[in-house]
Amino acid sequence: MTRREVLKAGVGAGLGLLLPLPVFAYADGDLTTERCLSLHNLHTGEVLKEIPYRTPQGYQKDALEALNYLLRDYRTGELKEIDPQLFDLLYGVQNRLGACAEFQVISGYRSPRTNELLRRRSRGVAKHSLHMLGKAIDIRLPGCDLSRLRAAAVAVKGGGVGYYPKSNFVHVDTGRVRYW
């Protein structure tokens, strides 16, 4: 190997180490299989059953658009492109739980206006919430103990996990790995 090839290999390996660990941690399953999710928006009553959002060819545009619509700010009707890694995180959670079940959505995308409204009502709403960026979702899973859902989300190491037993939901996001 030439000196240049050694340097290239070293730089490539070094860049790989800079990637956050969660990228590797929640890529459950290989990408040659189809990934499906089922979501039920509790505020609108809308349901998407086993929607194949990712195939071996990549993320599916129509499925992502349907998911974006389901997770819109139901108060204002505003849409936001949801981070596809959030769906991968949910997929990883359902794999950890060993079941393909329907996630109940308490909150998906929040417009800045809605987020401010909620902040005035509750101390638990972040001023710079990842919900406003399409990178967070509040969920529960019927038939699954909330602490078990939280443990599965923590094990995925795909981002933040908030545990809200009094409000009966778990928050997951694609931000940095942290727990509260």
How far apart (Å, rounded) are the C-alpha atoms in residues 63 and 72? 14
Domain ranges of the chain: 22-179
Quick: pLDDT tens for 29-60.
567 789 999 999 999 999 999 999 999 999 99
The model's pTM is 0.82
pLDDT, position 20: 43
User: For the structural domain made of 22-179, what CATH number should be given?
Assistant: 3.30.1380.10
pLDDT one-digit tens code per residue, 123-137: 878 889 999 999 999
Give the closest residue to 172 by CA, choosing from 48, 7, 26: 26
